[in-house]
Chains A and B, each alone.
Chain A
Amino acid sequence: GENVEQHPSTLSVQEGDSAVIKCTYSDSASNYFPWYKQELGKRPQLIIDIRSNVGEKKDQRIAVTLNKTAKHFSLHITETQPEDSAVYFCAASEYGNKLVFGAGTILRVKS
């Protein structure tokens, strides 16, 4: 089955700096890669996703890149703000829309 590795496990950045979180996946058949943000005590919130026929997708300060050959994808957050502080999970989609999540990255934005 699919296996997703996520790095780093924690990331501290200064407000206004950029943050990058990287994930690798094992199953070359996976073709959907969402990113979720989860604040403490709240639900995972879908912030951006990318499909395998696209190499990059942007939504304001957030972007995701996908390299299918290398089987890795990354989340980029520019101009970070304190409210970006949360746990971020990457995921890859297997059969039947089964999402396999990475272990998560705790992002701290220091003001």
Chain B
Amino acid sequence: DTEVTQTPKHLVMGMTNKKSLKCEQHMGHRAMYWYKQKAKKPPELMFVYSYEKLSINESVPSRFSPECPNSSLLNLHLHALQPEDSALYLCASSPWEAVNQPQHFGDGTRLSIL
């Protein structure tokens, strides 16, 4: 059983749509992460939130907009995506944002852009 819950599991959207991905954890973790994973590739970090504040943005295009409403929730707002943005989007959490804190992943949202 995963302790990081992501919804929806699958999402198909057009390039002009606006949608949001959601992530929730109830482990009391204070750091949360968004990763993008293309097929047969490793996860690539997009954003890191620490104590509900954005601490790392890996030069992600502005069509991806993260939000952390509280310590348990992490959203990723999507707008005007491109076909190359089709991928598995993974959320992870760790006790806090420090080197050597184990990160635990959710099951991901598989996103397809038409």
Residues of A that sit less than 8 Å from B by CB: 30-32, 34, 36, 42-46, 49, 51, 89, 91, 93-99, 101-104
Contacts and interface: CB of A to CB of B under 8 A. Distances in A.
Given A49-B102, A103-B42, A97 B90 contact: no
Interface centre among A45, A91, A98 (most CB of B within 10 A): A98
The contact size tier of chain B is 20 to 34
17 contacts: A32-B99, A43-B2, A44-B43, A46-B103, A49-B102, A93-B99, A94-B99, A96-B50, A96-B55, A96-B97, A96-B99, A97-B100, A99-B103, A101-B43, A101-B44, A103-B42, A104-B41
A91 B100 CA distance: 11
Contacts of B48: 96-98
A94 B104 CA distance: 17
B105 interface: yes
Interface centre among B97, B101, B103, B106 (most CB of A within 10 A): B103
A97 B42 contact: no
